[in-house]
Amino acid sequence: MRCRKCSHPAVIKMPRHNIALCKDCLTEFVHTQVRRAIDAHRMFTTNDRVLVAVSGGKDSLALWSILLKLGYHADALYVDLGIGEYSLQSRQKVQRFTEAVATSYQATLHVHTVEQEQGAGIRELATLVRRPTCATCGTMKRYQFNRVAIEQHYDVMATGHNLDDEAARLLGNVLHWQTDYLDKQSPTLPASLDGFAKKVKPLHRLTEREIAAYAVIHHIDYIVDECPMAKGSKMLAYKRVLNQLEADSPGTKHTFYLKFLDRQAKQRQEDSQTITEQDQHRLHPCETCGQPTSTTVCTYCKMMAKAGSHA
Ligand code: AMP
Ligand code: FES
Ligand code: ZN
């Protein structure tokens, strides 16, 4: 198999574009898609300070690496959830990447350890508040991502969500007609209020497979295992269905998600209302911690009050 662009040996076949690419052309392709996402959705510029949420997985470590290579000022945040061996290993991957790559760009890694700061690991907290671990974990991560971004004065916070993640989430939102969530499923969520960081997903044009190939080519050592708590999750089921559709009809995920974004952009123009304006009507500071919320006390503070160890 030869690269469609330069005829060197190909490392990946990409049926959705009907091409195969070699190492260098895949690298160029990935960088172009990331630049395109950043520019088209006005995510940030080289003057901004970006905080990348890194989990130790391929997507977020690849994202951090790509942003540094493209000349952006990108630091990172790792949230140690205290999930036994999985957290130990993912933390190690993040720390090794920081030492091997990020420090040569003068980039900094912030670490938030839930067990230390909140008094218990995420599984124990979930038991205390009687909520599923993944939901408790989602609340904790969103809260800590936003808090660190605001306290450390970052302009924007980036996550490694890819095309597979976003298409699966869209499928879930459509199947349950979660219209509120559909409105918010955007690759850029503006800073809607003081205390609410801008959030972006620069990898949303790239599939999991393309990013995995990029990570391997660039010797990014990442944790391959999924979080043990994710077993049997709805998101994994949606991904399986989409992968099946994709195998039968290449380009399905791409069309499903990117056409949704096109329609969303048109709709917003017609409504001439941005998410910022919609949010400003709804959000105000949490009475306990001051982070924006649509209720009196935010979900995180309610959760920590219930756990009896408000941080
Ligand atoms: P997930 O929800 O596990 O699919 O992760 C989605 C994105 O959230 C990742 O690409 C990371 O950017 C971020 N993320 C997930 N887990 C962590 C973590 N423990 N610490 C920092 N960022 C994380
Ligand atoms: Fe949150 Fe698994 S990463 S429960
Ligand atoms: Zn709060």
Q: Is residue 245 part of a domain?
A: yes
246 within 8 A of 252, measured Cβ to Cβ:
yes
In a domain, 142, yes or no: yes
Q: Of all protein residues, whose CA lies closest to atom 4 belonging to ligand 2?
A: 134
Residue 310, pLDDT score: 45
Task: Quote the CA–CA distance of 12 and 15 in Å, as a whole number.
Answer: 10
The one-letter amino acid code at 98 reads: T
Q: Which of 55, 111, 163, 227 to mutate to test the pocket of ligand 1 (most atoms within 8 A of CB)?
A: 55
Helices (H), the chain: 23-40, 58-69, 84-100, 114-118, 122-129, 133-151, 163-175, 179-184, 208-217, 234-248, 252-271, 275-282, 299-307
Say how many Å lie between the CA of residue 209 and the centre of ligand 2: 21
Q: Using an 8 Å Cβ cutoff, are 103 and 277 in contact?
A: no
* pTM, 2 dp: 0.95
Give the type of residue at 289: C
Closest Cα partner for 172 from 247, 258, 237? Answer: 237
Ligand 1 midpoint to CA 272 (Å)? 32
DSSP state of 297: S
Ligand nearest to the CA of 233: 2
Distance 118 CA to ligand 3 centre (A): 14
pLDDT at 211: 98
For residue 6, being part of any structural domain is answered with no
Residue 176 contacts residue 170 (beta carbons within 8 Å): no
Residue 162 lies in a domain: yes
Domain assignment present for 294: no
- β-strand 198-200 against 188-189: which pairing, if any? antiparallel
In this structure, is residue 192 part of a structural domain? yes
What does the block give as tokens for 227? Answer: 């979080």
Nearest CA to ligand 2 atom 3: 227
pLDDT given at position 28: 98
Sheet of strand 49-53, all strands in order from the earlier edge strand to the far edge: 109-113, 73-80, 49-53, 156-158, 198-200, 188-189
What residues have a C-beta under 5 A from ligand 3, the ion?
286, 288-289, 298, 301
Question: Which ligand has the shortest distance to the CA of 200?
Answer: 1
Residue type for position 49: R
**Any atom of ligand 1 within 6 Å of the Cβ of 141:** yes
Query: What's the CA gap between 297 and 282, in Å, rounded?
Result: 13
Q: Per the structure, how many domains does the chain have?
A: 1
pLDDT score, position 275: 56
Query: What residue type is 67 in one-letter code?
Result: L
Which ligand is located closest to the Cα atom of residue 91?
1
Q: Are 172 and 234 in contact (CB under 8 A)?
A: yes
CA distances, 131 to each of 126, 233, 297 (Å): 5, 15, 18
d(CA 166, CA 153): 27
The span from the CA of 106 to the CA of 104, in Å, is 5
Distance from the CA of 125 to the center of ligand 1, in angstroms?
A: 19
User: Which domain CATH number covers 162?
Assistant: 3.40.50.620
Give the pLDDT confidence score for residue 184 in this predicted structure.
Answer: 84
The answer to the question of residue 126 being in a domain is yes
Q: What is the pLDDT of residue 109?
A: 98
| Pocket, ligand 2, Cβ cutoff 6 A | 81, 133-134, 137, 227, 229-230
Per-residue pLDDT at 308: 84
Q: Which residue has the tokens 């990029």?
A: 214
Asked if 241 and 171 count as a contact pair (C-beta separation under 8 A), the reply is yes
What pLDDT does residue 311 have?
46
CA distance 187 to 199: 8
- Pick from 149, 255, 273, 266: nearest CA to 207: 255
Query: Can you tell me which atom of ligand 2 is nearest the CA of 228?
Result: 2
Q: How far does the centroid of ligand 2 lie from the alpha carbon of residue 205, in Å?
A: 24
Q: Is the CB of 58 under 6 A from ligand 1?
A: no
Q: Provide the residue-wise pLDDT of the chain in tens; the chain has 311 residues.
A: 899 999 999 999 999 899 999 999 999 999 999 999 999 999 999 999 999 999 999 999 999 999 999 999 999 999 999 999 999 999 999 999 999 999 999 999 999 999 999 999 999 999 999 999 999 999 999 999 999 999 999 999 999 999 999 999 999 999 999 988 898 899 999 887 778 899 999 999 999 999 999 999 999 999 999 899 888 789 999 999 999 999 999 999 999 999 999 999 888 878 765 555 555 567 888 999 988 888 999 999 999 999 985 44
**CA 293 to ligand 3 centroid distance, Å:** 8
Q: Is residue 230 part of a domain?
A: yes
Tell which residue, 151, 147, 89, 87, has the closest CA to residue 122.
Answer: 87
- What pLDDT was estimated at residue 274? 58
Point out the ligand nearest to the CA of residue 114: 1
Q: What is the domain extent for residue 98? A: 23-271
* CA nearest to 95, candidates 81, 76, 114: 76
